Amino acid sequence: MVKCDTCGVETFMPFRCNYCGRYFCEQHRLPEFHSCTGAYAAAKPTIQQGTYSSSGGSYNYASSRVIRSYWFSRRELRDLAVGSGIILLTPLIRVWAYFLKDPVFVSIYIVILMLAFILHELAHKFAAQRFGLWAEFRLSVTGILFTVMSFLLFQTRLLPIMVIAPGAVMIAGMLNGKESGEISIAGPAVNLAQALIYLAVSVISPNELIKALMLAGVAVNSGLALFNLIPFGVFDGEKIFKWDRRIWVVAVAIAGTMFFFIS
């Protein structure tokens, strides 16, 4: 347990600010919510100043809602590359012997894993940028450890779902419930779309190797969507559930059906 450097609340999964290096709870994780003393002010495309008030207090913030632009910073591209590398190397180390026997199958499987992760995070990023918000992917030490450990446990069948989360998209700016819900559903929705595509290909393909790969894609993406739809804590599901329970139920039903009955 780590205490939030702003409010002192003990947090099991603290967020480390990439600008000032301190640790915070979910409520104060964004730079503008803990009066970040790091390089955040120079890094963000800021525009409009304001104050956000909640039961936990008031926080100064800077909103970037001026131009709807889609962009990447150098640091973000580096973090995405490192995160993708972790997803590439973790299973490769585990299944190296299989890679030597069937490099095509293993390579395609790893690409499926990487696409599940990258497209999920980019969906969150672009959805946030569509509202004119600052949004960048950042690596997380906790997420990296969870990704590595969950893969090992998944391979030994001690964990039913593989967690692919070496990092996450950080979003800065004020959001209402609808915007937060739409940004949150974007990631799981992209995973469900990938799972449906893989499922369709597995049905029409006569090749057994392709069928196996496509069903693996269904399992990976539906499992990742289902995990992120957990309706509490820092998960996407918590914000989606508060925004529109009907959408949350539909998403969980689709993800659960594919994961438990099809994959």
Q: Summarize pLDDT for 56-115 with one digit per residue, the tens.
A: 333 344 444 444 567 788 888 999 999 888 888 877 666 666 766 778 888 888 899 889
Position 71 scores a pLDDT of: 79
Distance CA 166, CA 147 (A): 6
pLDDT tens digit sequence for 116-137 = 999 999 999 999 988 888 888 9
Which of 75, 48, 72, 43 lies closest to 60 in space, CA to CA? 48
Side chain identity at residue 40, one-letter code: Y
Position 181 scores a pLDDT of: 92
Question: Which CATH topology does 2-63 take?
Answer: Zf-an1 domain (4.10.1110)
Position 95 scores a pLDDT of: 63
Question: What is the mean pLDDT of the segment spanning 5-9?
Answer: 86
Model pTM above 0.75: no
Position 61 scores a pLDDT of: 40
Instruction: Give the count of beta carbons closer than 10 Å to the beta carbon of residue 192.
Output: 22
Position 162 scores a pLDDT of: 67
Backbone angles phi, psi at 158, to 5 degrees: -90, -10
Position 59 scores a pLDDT of: 38
Domain range list for the chain: 2-63, 74-262
Q: Where are the alpha helices (DSSP H) in the chain?
A: 40-43, 74-94, 96-101, 103-130, 141-155, 177-204, 208-228, 236-243, 245-257
Question: What is the mean pLDDT of the segment spanning 175-203?
Answer: 93
Do residues 87 and 117 lie in contact, with contact meaning Cβ atoms separated by under 8 Å? Answer: yes
Task: Identify the three-state secondary structure at position 60.
Answer: strand
Position of tokens 């190797």? 209
